[in-house]
């Protein structure tokens, strides 16, 4: 469902993307609101479902991360397959896509051998027709 959000909400969302733990006081100052008004805005965004969760990005400390693009067999129930994927070790975000690629995931491992092991486990899952792996060299944002 599409929510109507105004320019202040957009600025709040951008600030929260940069730092989910920014104080309401600092958030308010950056968008031109008082602390209580900023707190109300964030609360409304949460209650309307615009903000689904607050999370952190963890630096994997010398590990390796990759984007894995997955094409499934035509008969596969994508929701069940994604549910199975979400229980695999090292899986981060999961996206269901349109087009030739059905699913994309972020995959984390302590080293390249671990990454190879994890991608082999994904490739052996029922309903996986094809995978394409891109190792992440540098995160810009």
Co-location of 110 and 73 in the same domain: yes
Helix (H) or strand (E) holding 130: strand 128-135
Tell me: the pLDDT tens digits for 116-139?
A: 999 999 999 988 999 999 998 887
**Pair 123, 55: CB distance under 8 Å:** no
Tokens 């963890």 belong to: 58
Lowest-confidence region among 13-17, 68-72, 93-97? 13-17
The total number of structural domains in the chain stands at 2
Strand partners, 106: 67
pTM for this entry: 0.61
d(CA 132, CA 100): 12
Same domain, 42 and 100: no
Full domain range(s) for residue 43: 7-47
In-domain check, residue 52: no
């Amino acid at each position: 469902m599409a929510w109507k959000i105004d320019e202040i909400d957009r600025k709040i969302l951008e600030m929260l993307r940069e730092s989910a733990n920014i104080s309401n006081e600092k958030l308010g100052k950056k968008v031109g609101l008082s602390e209580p008004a900023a707190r109300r805005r964030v609360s409304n965004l949460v209650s309307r479902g615009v903000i689904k969760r607050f999370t952190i990005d963890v630096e994997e400390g010398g590990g390796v991360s990759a984007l894995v693009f997955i094409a499934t067999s035509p008969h596969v129930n994508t929701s069940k397959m994604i549910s199975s994927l979400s229980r695999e070790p090292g899986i981060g975000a999961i996206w269901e896509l349109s087009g030739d690629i059905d699913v994309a995931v972020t995959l984390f491992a302590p080293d390249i051998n671990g990454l190879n092991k994890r991608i082999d486990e994904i490739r052996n899952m029922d309903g996986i027709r094809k995978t394409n792996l891109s190792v992440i060299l540098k995160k810009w944002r």
